Amino acid sequence: MKQYLLAVQFDYTAPLPPADQHQTMYDDVERVNQEIRKAGAWVFGGGLLAPDTATVVRVQGGDTTMTDGPYAETKETIGGFWVIRAADLDEALAWAEKCTRACRAPIEVRPFEDEPEA
């Protein structure tokens, strides 16, 4: 089975929903997580802290630099993700539909590169 990244596109500039709606979203996401696990499609998933907690590490001209903040200044960035196993893109998109409804944010679906055969 192929692996896919389901990346939550989160707008950190938008106001957060009220606490009761936020908790409902977390509960809905946990239900989808359990469904993915039960189906045997779960590899890994998690939420990320805001982009201003990031450190960008680069090597340029042999020197390593570390800078605070996100790699790119954008309105939307990855706020969390799932890595799943799916037979094909259609199956991954079906999971993404459930995920976007649960987390109330757009989901970007990207396949991982195939591993070279030994």
- Domain ranges (residues) in the chain: 2-11+40-111
Ranges under pLDDT 50 in the chain? none
SS3 category, 79: strand
At the fourth CATH level, the homologous superfamily of domain 2-11+40-111 is: Dimeric alpha+beta barrel (3.30.70.1060)
Angle of CA points 51, 52, 55, to nearest 5°: 85
pTM for this entry: 0.86
Which pLDDT value is given to residue 72? 65
Closest residue by Cα to residue 80 from 31, 47, 104, 32: 47
